[in-house]
Amino acid sequence: MKTIDELLSEGVTGKRVFVRADLNVPLDGTTITDDGRIRAVVPTVKALADAGARVIVASHLGRPKGAPDPAFSLGPAAARLGELLGADVAFAEDTVGISAEATVSGLSDGRVAVIENLRFNAGETSKDESERAAFADKLAGLADVYVGDGFGAVHRKHASVFDLPKRLPHYAGYLIATEVGVLKKLTDDVKRPYVVALGGAKVSDKLAVIDQLLGKADRLLIGGGMAYTFLRAKGYEVGISLLQEDQLPAVKEYIERAEKNGVGLVLPVDVLVSSEFPDLRTKAPANPTTVAADAIPADQEGLDIGPETRKLYASKLADAATVFWNGPMGVFEHPDYAEGTKAVAQALVDAPGFTVVGGGDSAAAVRTLGFDENAFGHISTGGGASLEYLEGKTLPGLAALED
């Protein structure tokens, strides 16, 4: 794929450059609680603006129903982007309507605008190709050039990600180029030992990537809610812990294949349990109990890996030359259940090799728990996109940029 550096070498002064970013940040009302994805696109936007382009930044946010919804407005993200750029950023109150056209027409060289949430238009996410194409045609009318830099959305076959690049000269922004380079280090040029830590709630979300990794990774560390399906597959009582019984046959097969392939599939040896899920709003003390992984009481729920598991996982990461981590080890949003996730993050910091935090909740946890982002080799902006790449899938947004 052609990169933004090639575009800049051709000259962009006066050109309208459409940057498909990922400004899908978490909001508490109108307050951004994690601006990592906005900061990630700043190098691309700044380079284009400094070179004299008229930059049109577009993104989705949340899951509105194909119509305007004030709860999902990109207004706060546009304001934060302006703060990070140290420049005024214009904001269009629609996607391809009167406001967007006027805002883009009013841009002078080197200025930046953000248009409203792309998902306020049903054509963005439509499965009807003609509806997506019609929306992409309107977006194309706003610009002369397309730069894809929203890595968190490249696994979606959406109008602004897949259809729009086909209508304009297209280039990969700095973020996408970096993300793809990192993922190639996890697939094509892997230094060993290669250790993967997977957490999160549902094992069903990770089955495909586990299937791939059983032939590539040296060790797989399993935590989070998904661990209880693995523990149940080994015949353990898991109480009222999160359990996907329909996935037990697949998980049992993975446990057997890991042993056959010589992959170290490492499960918790102890867990923190409680009879109640913690209050994440007030963060009132939860007073969990630590029990062995094969001794979870029938009326208790596992909510984090225990202290012995933390030590075990740290030891399995200590000599890693390559690490990929996706998914928290427990309910990290509550301080009583954050230590497992914190221990894995610290083990990545201490590991001698190349460490990748695979976006999503893992990236949020790193920031929430106060880690220096520069202590990791790379923090991805796209958890779902990273996983699908590792699964070996073709990502529509990357395929469109490669054409």
**Which amino acids are annotated catalytic?**
37, 202, 360, 384
Tell me if 333 is assigned to a ligand binding site: yes
Tell me if 276 is assigned to a ligand binding site: no
Integer distance in angstroms from the first to the last C-alpha of the chain? 7
Tell me if 24 is assigned to a ligand binding site: yes
3 state DSSP class of 62: coil
From CA 250, how far away is CA 394, in angstroms rounded? 24
Tell me if 336 is assigned to a ligand binding site: no
From CA 30, how far away is CA 52, in angstroms rounded? 31
Tell me if 308 is assigned to a ligand binding site: no
Report whether 119 contacts 60 (CB < 8 A).
yes
Tell me if 83 is assigned to a ligand binding site: no
127: nearest Cα among 88, 89, 92, 156: 156
From CA 369, how far away is CA 302, in angstroms rounded? 21
From CA 385, how far away is CA 380, in angstroms rounded? 9
354: nearest Cα among 117, 161, 221, 187: 187
Tell me if 397 is assigned to a ligand binding site: no
Tell me if 362 is assigned to a ligand binding site: yes
> Beta partners for 197?
221, 325
Tell me if 361 is assigned to a ligand binding site: yes
Tell me if 118 is assigned to a ligand binding site: no
Tell me if 181 is assigned to a ligand binding site: no
Tell me if 62 is assigned to a ligand binding site: yes
222: nearest Cα among 183, 260, 271, 175: 271
Which residues 6+ apart lie within 8 Å of 137 measured at CB? 167
Tell me if 10 is assigned to a ligand binding site: no
Tell me if 63 is assigned to a ligand binding site: yes
From CA 262, how far away is CA 243, in angstroms rounded? 26
Tell me if 158 is assigned to a ligand binding site: no
Which residues 6+ apart lie within 8 Å of 350 measured at CB? 314, 317, 318
DSSP 8-state class, residue 3: B
Please enumerate, by residue number, every residue annotated as part of a binding site.
22-24, 37, 60-63, 119, 156, 206, 302, 333, 359-362
Please enumerate, by residue number, every residue annotated as part of a binding site for substrate.
22-24, 37, 60-63, 119, 156
Please enumerate, by residue number, every residue annotated as part of a binding site for ATP.
206, 302, 333, 359-362
Please enumerate, by residue number, every residue annotated as part of a binding site for (2R)-3-phosphoglycerate.
37, 119, 156
